[in-house]
Amino acid sequence: MAEAASQDLLLAAAFVSDAQYNRNIPFKTSPEAVRLYYLYNHWIMRTATYFFIFLNLSLAVFEEPAVYPLPFLVTSVVEVLCLVVFFGRLTHFAKVTLRNVFWKDTKNICIMVAILLSLTDLAIYGVLRMYDVRSIRWSRIVRPIFLINFAESRQIRRAFRSIRNTLPEITYVFLLFMFSLLMFSLMALKLFGERNLQTAEGLPYFKNYLEIVFDLYVLVTTANSPDVMMPAFDFSSWYALFFIAFVIVNTYIFMSLFLAVVYNNYKKHLKNEIRKLAYMKHCKMIEAFNILKEEEGAQFVVREAQWKQLVKLVAPDISNSHRELLLRISDDEQKGFIDKKSFVQLADLLNIQVITLKIRSHPLGQWMPGVYKSAVSRFLRSMVRHRFDTLIIFAALTATILNTTLKSTTKYNSQQILDIVFILRVLRLIRIVDSIQRFRVIMNTLINIVPTMLTFGGLTLVVYCVFAIIGMELFHGKIQFFPANSNAPHSLECGNAALKDSLFARAKYCKNNFNNFASSFIVLMELTVVNQWHVFANGFANVTVQPAKLYFIAFHIVMVIIIVNIFVSFILEAFFVEYSLEKSEVETAIEQKIQELGMGVQEDELQDEHLLDNMESAEHDLEGEGGTKPQSKGLVFKIASKRYRTVDSLLQRMFEAEIPLEDEGPSVEEFLNLFPTAAIPSNVTSESAA
Amino acid sequence: MAEAASQDLLLAAAFVSDAQYNRNIPFKTSPEAVRLYYLYNHWIMRTATYFFIFLNLSLAVFEEPAVYPLPFLVTSVVEVLCLVVFFGRLTHFAKVTLRNVFWKDTKNICIMVAILLSLTDLAIYGVLRMYDVRSIRWSRIVRPIFLINFAESRQIRRAFRSIRNTLPEITYVFLLFMFSLLMFSLMALKLFGERNLQTAEGLPYFKNYLEIVFDLYVLVTTANSPDVMMPAFDFSSWYALFFIAFVIVNTYIFMSLFLAVVYNNYKKHLKNEIRKLAYMKHCKMIEAFNILKEEEGAQFVVREAQWKQLVKLVAPDISNSHRELLLRISDDEQKGFIDKKSFVQLADLLNIQVITLKIRSHPLGQWMPGVYKSAVSRFLRSMVRHRFDTLIIFAALTATILNTTLKSTTKYNSQQILDIVFILRVLRLIRIVDSIQRFRVIMNTLINIVPTMLTFGGLTLVVYCVFAIIGMELFHGKIQFFPANSNAPHSLECGNAALKDSLFARAKYCKNNFNNFASSFIVLMELTVVNQWHVFANGFANVTVQPAKLYFIAFHIVMVIIIVNIFVSFILEAFFVEYSLEKSEVETAIEQKIQELGMGVQEDELQDEHLLDNMESAEHDLEGEGGTKPQSKGLVFKIASKRYRTVDSLLQRMFEAEIPLEDEGPSVEEFLNLFPTAAIPSNVTSESAA
């Protein structure tokens, strides 16, 4: 993440230069604070935070109504533990951040309020429970706040900001759409209301205005097509024209318009965000340069010694040779100092993954040539080289273990495990597909989408959590699932007489209920897929009250009209970027430099060979190949595959090409115009902190 | 259509200058030929051609299997008449075109072959019929060729070319998608095949590989969600994960990828086409300039007299004052000649609709002031001013007439007619919505889409015709519709015992059949909407053979994956253009000039007043307003509303901003690289002819 890197660099620069308090750095720069800052950003700490966030979210599986019930004492202790961890993490962040910056950040306030609310609710619920009073655990709805507001979840926050910014535009289209819907409903009432028609279920057809509005809303999602049309169509073929007009206007035009508005706004706001990030990165690098600069002739520069100290501090785990490469690139005339222009690039340079290949034979090959050349070793080496394959084998292994575990509880047999292993082996075919040139753009798009899917996964998780918790409060226990040969009363009507003769019971949807967290998620997934959602809406409205349909309409608007459209927008954009943009400029520069210095291994060479030994690995050693070139240090470098990128880098790659970064960036006035709400630097800086 | 205008201008220039045969003009330039050329392009001739094309297509309604049966003699006479008209039109075109150009054009060859095929088939069918042998009218499938290949249907041809160019890319994604589908199906077979599960209808679940592939293909379209999942889900909740993964990969990612590929390619190819058109326009205008040019000092120019003669010839119906305005714009220093740069703009200038408002009171007001100021006249005038309203009133009138006509055949009563009139009056509310500024971009997008919808209507018509004709051959008479209280055998099973207990019969879909052209169209419309299409596919496969499902899959691929995606692409693009592009450059230039010359009425002024007198028209006269400005000729001009554009102008507006037209255009080499298949100039020229 380039943004974090520039932040780290600025902090490290302040530390290296022993600079005192600087108004542009939101962090304390005492050695103690910097140590704490690195600890805060350590991957173990981050992973632990995510672990506790998901533990907290997954409590819903074990709390009433539970998939796997646990005593209240256990879940409440775990919840308190999670909250303590969150509080600790927040305190840690407060210790490395300047006080005024910390308290100005709404995210921190949000987390604190959420912790307080959760504790209060837990206490009230616990006390009421002691007196056997059942109450609602309403605070569970605030749990997703932890997922959104911890600094690590920048992408999810960004997606939410995009949605918030897109809302006004969507509202206008939505109002027009509602207007059209209400007009068509009025027409339908006038056209069909007095004809005494009946639906296929024998119910009155298009009699009640509100029901017509609902039915036509469902038709917009196509879920009840062509059933909703059939009674009128059977009466007269001409009435089909009404429905054709309706579908063209509302399903095709308005739904496309929603996609257009969402895509347009999402792209616009994302562009602003990335531009903001790029600008902040630039500012911070210039700030870091100013801290470290010394006069050299007519210009200010950073000395090599300080530069090295800085890089060591900020990226302690890169090799000496890699650091030397970066120095050679930054100081290409070997003058012993780095000028401003090269220094500013450092954050980007550090983010390019360079693979260092040592030009010497394997130690095992030197010491025990017999063992090294044995078939087993050869196999191991070829396995290590085929990462995609290895991944699949690991997946197969995991599946096998999972199955063995499940075997104890369910009735799996070894045949089925072998089947799964066989299927996973078939996935090896993907490698063949990938090796065909024409498929690579598509495959690259698909691979690039994967990390971003995590963001949408997070977004979906938040929306699902909120709707699942509301859904469980509304519909819990109303619908029961009984196995096929059950003798329970109303077992065919999902245990509820109100569902007699309903489409819901007839389609055997009883297992789709809100009785626990997992079931709710599956129902919400089915609602996201849209088809038959009206059957769900009618079913749940029958067992509770008719306005319960609003829950389903709200979910449709939030999930399908907004979030799925954002998902589609992202895929569209990722595809267009993959088609139009080949390599980012900085990457090309570093590749060029590697080649110039004669230290490079052509990526194409590697790839081509990779393709040649497609299914069976021919023996070929990188070592010999590297040796054919004049080598300065006995090392070759190559840029790691561009196929595996982080979300941020993909987003930056999308827009950075359009943003000029050579200049000093927009002036502060321009910047304030671009992001009127951004208080510079505290707010923006803290937003991108950690 | 700017392209046609530049063609006309070039021809007129050749005519005006009495130039002899010129190799760049594909038309004969003799006075006789030019007269024929104008006759060929006359709007009556064009309209007549369209009339006969649609008459020919609509014959399917009257031929066996007929909605309204007519004797074979009648339909065959009409068909021969249509073919004669088409042949006449083609002969007319041949008379104005150079021989070698005419015979190189595949469109002309296509039409001739189609006429020959139709006649042959008609003859064979007629002869066989006399001997009472039933044969297939296979030539009906070539009828849409006339719609596509007559020069008038440029947009439809362009859309087809776009599709053809997009096919390779789509094929790659489709192959990957099929690969994914087959893999998932294999997994499903292994996971569920041996569990002896049953569907809600009691049929075996996921036993047969081909059936699994079909079921999962249907799941991609979401039409059988969640039903296809329920048996496995009821067995174990964990199996839901398989379906969730399937939907994410295939429904969300792959279907979005299809949209991305279609949108990307459609946009790219459309851009090339428009660039080609713009380039050809530029070339023709320069050619015309070269024909008419005379030396004047250091430069070549066109004299005012020749310019006027040219404009009179090419646009005989524009007013003298309008022509003067164009002259003032082209020759802004009133030097008596037009230079190259201004001359080249002429085609665009002629395409801008300028409204001329005379600054004098209404003749009726002068002669009969009493009558003019009466309430009736005032009402009439206010009605004339509110075009949107007038449109609706006309629609209401049409509906009323239609209803009155229908009344004789069905049991309508006057109450219902009044209802419809009432509903159409409610549509007046659209005007209020339109007057709210924030809705205008959306409304403009919607209005701009309307003319383009005609292209997609044409495209859809062609696809529907082909599939309807095939569908009628395959499924005609297999499924019958009986009214609710019929005593016919198997009336509940659509007259076919094979449909007993099928979802098709249970959902009462009997009226959805291929028994005539109209029914076929409605079925295809329902298949386009996608929902429940598998019920149709299974139903029709049950009454014929299982491979009949391929017909439905093919329709889904052609209509939903390609054409609907192109439709969505167009709406996306139209919306983005409406948001990003305000006015095209030429239009701004002419507006500026009108303002400079002091002959303009501010469009905004008009609009604002239009908004003020929103529901009730206050009395305000344009005449007084125009009079307050210094007027040279007692006339004011204004540019006609940009809201009502042709398809071409919208497309050109989309891309022309990105194409530099100031230079001489790309070199011939560049041009050939851009469009490798285009033979310059004959092919391109004849493509854009007429």
Chain A residues close to B237, C-beta within 8 Å: 511, 518-519, 522
Question: In angstroms, how far is the first alpha carbon of chain A from the final one?
Answer: 10
Chain B residues close to A434, C-beta within 8 Å: none
pLDDT at A611: 38
Q: Secondary structure of A482-515 in the HEC alphabet?
A: CCCCCCCCCHHHCCCHHHCCCHHHHCCCCCCCCC
A337-339 and A354-358 beta bridge pairing: unpaired
CB under 8 A, 24+ apart: contacts of B298-304: B299/B339, B299/B340, B300/B340, B301/B337, B301/B338, B301/B339, B301/B340, B302/B337, B302/B338, B302/B343, B303/B336, B303/B337, B304/B331, B304/B336, B304/B337, B304/B338
Nearest to A512 among B190, B226, B256 (CB): B226
A354-358 and A635-639 beta bridge pairing: antiparallel
Q: Interface pTM (ipTM) of the complex?
A: 0.80
Chain A residues close to B508, C-beta within 8 Å: 200, 230, 234
Return the structure tokens found at B542: 């049950």
pLDDT at B588: 61
d(CA A345, CA A292): 15
Q: Does A422 touch chain B (CB under 8 A)?
A: yes
Chain B residues close to A195, C-beta within 8 Å: none
Q: How confident is the model at residue A471 (pLDDT cuts 50, 70, 90)?
A: very high
DSSP state of A678: P
DSSP state of B485: T
Chain A residues close to B263, C-beta within 8 Å: 572
Q: In which element (H, E) is residue B638 found?
A: strand B635-639
Chain A residues close to B253, C-beta within 8 Å: 446, 449, 571
Beta carbons of A531 and B449 less than 8 Å apart: no
Beta carbons of B427 and A183 less than 8 Å apart: yes
Interhelix angle B320-330/B304-314, nearest 10 degrees:
130
Beta carbons of A511 and B233 less than 8 Å apart: yes
pLDDT at B551: 95
pLDDT single digits (tens) A289-306: 888 888 888 888 888 888
Question: Looking at the DSSP assignment, which residues form a beta bridge with residue A303?
Answer: A337
pLDDT single digits (tens) B178-187: 988 998 998 8
Size of interface A-B (CB pairs under 8 A): 199
d(CA A553, CA A536): 11
pLDDT at B422: 66
Beta carbons of A531 and B223 less than 8 Å apart: yes
pLDDT single digits (tens) A13-61: 777 766 544 555 666 767 777 788 878 888 888 889 989 998 998 888 8
Indicate the residue type of B432.
I
Q: Does A247 touch chain B (CB under 8 A)?
A: yes
Distances (CA, A) of A603 to A580, A609, A615: 21, 10, 20
Q: How confident is the model at residue B437 (pLDDT cuts 50, 70, 90)?
A: low
The answer to whether the beta carbons of residues A475 and A513 sit under 8 Å apart is yes
pLDDT single digits (tens) B371-427: 555 556 555 555 555 557 566 666 666 666 666 555 555 555 556 666 666 666 666
Residue with tokens 């297992």: A511
Q: Which fold has domain B161-267?
A: Helix Hairpins (1.10.287)
Q: What are phi and psi of B512, to 5 degrees?
A: -85, 90
* Domain ranges (residues) in chain A: 42-152, 161-268, 386-435, 442-580
pLDDT single digits (tens) A210-250: 999 999 999 999 898 888 998 888 888 888 889 999 999 99
Q: Is the pLDDT of residue A540 over 80?
A: yes
Choice between B369 and B106, residue whose per-residue pLDDT is larger: B106
DSSP state of B640: P
d(CA B539, CA B503): 8
pTM: 0.81
pLDDT single digits (tens) B659-671: 554 444 444 444 4
Choice between B10 and A544, residue whose per-residue pLDDT is larger: A544
Q: How far is B510 from chain A (nearest CA, A)?
A: 9
pLDDT at A555: 95
pLDDT single digits (tens) B595-637: 676 665 544 444 444 433 333 333 333 333 333 333 444 566 6
Nearest to A225 among B427, B532, B576 (CB): B532
Q: Does A147 touch chain B (CB under 8 A)?
A: no
On the 0-12 / 13-18 / 19+ scale of CB atoms within 10 A, B210 is: exposed
Q: Other C-beta atoms within 10 Å of A103: how many?
A: 11
Nearest to A575 among B257, B406, B484 (CB): B257
Q: Does A438 touch chain B (CB under 8 A)?
A: yes
All residues at 6 or more sequence positions from A461 whose CB lies less than 8 Å from its CB, including other chains: A57, A144, A147
Q: How far is B213 from chain A (nearest CA, A)?
A: 16
Chain A residues close to B480, C-beta within 8 Å: none
On the 0-12 / 13-18 / 19+ scale of CB atoms within 10 A, B312 is: middle
pLDDT at B21: 46
Q: Does A256 touch chain B (CB under 8 A)?
A: yes
pLDDT-above-90 percentage for chain B: 16
pLDDT single digits (tens) A55-70: 998 888 888 788 888 8
CATH number of A161-268: 1.10.287
pLDDT at B35: 80
Q: Does A575 touch chain B (CB under 8 A)?
A: yes
Average pLDDT, chain A: 76
Chain B residues close to A534, C-beta within 8 Å: none
Q: Does A576 touch chain B (CB under 8 A)?
A: yes
Out of A273-287, B289-303, B653-667, least confident range: B653-667
Q: In which element (H, E) is residue A632 found?
A: none
Beta carbons of B247 and A525 less than 8 Å apart: yes
On the 0-12 / 13-18 / 19+ scale of CB atoms within 10 A, A285 is: buried
pLDDT at A65: 80
Q: A299 in helix, strand or coil?
A: strand
Chain A interface disruption, residue of B508, B515, B517, most A CBs within 10 A:
B508
Nearest to B442 among A173, A429, A530 (CB): A173
d(CA B578, CA B556): 31
Beta carbons of A529 and B226 less than 8 Å apart: yes
pLDDT single digits (tens) B87-141: 999 999 888 888 888 888 888 899 999 999 999 999 999 899 888 887 778 888 8
DSSP state of A428: T
pLDDT at B63: 85
Chain A interface disruption, residue of B225, B258, B407, most A CBs within 10 A:
B225
Beta carbons of A179 and B433 less than 8 Å apart: yes
d(CA A517, CA A519): 6
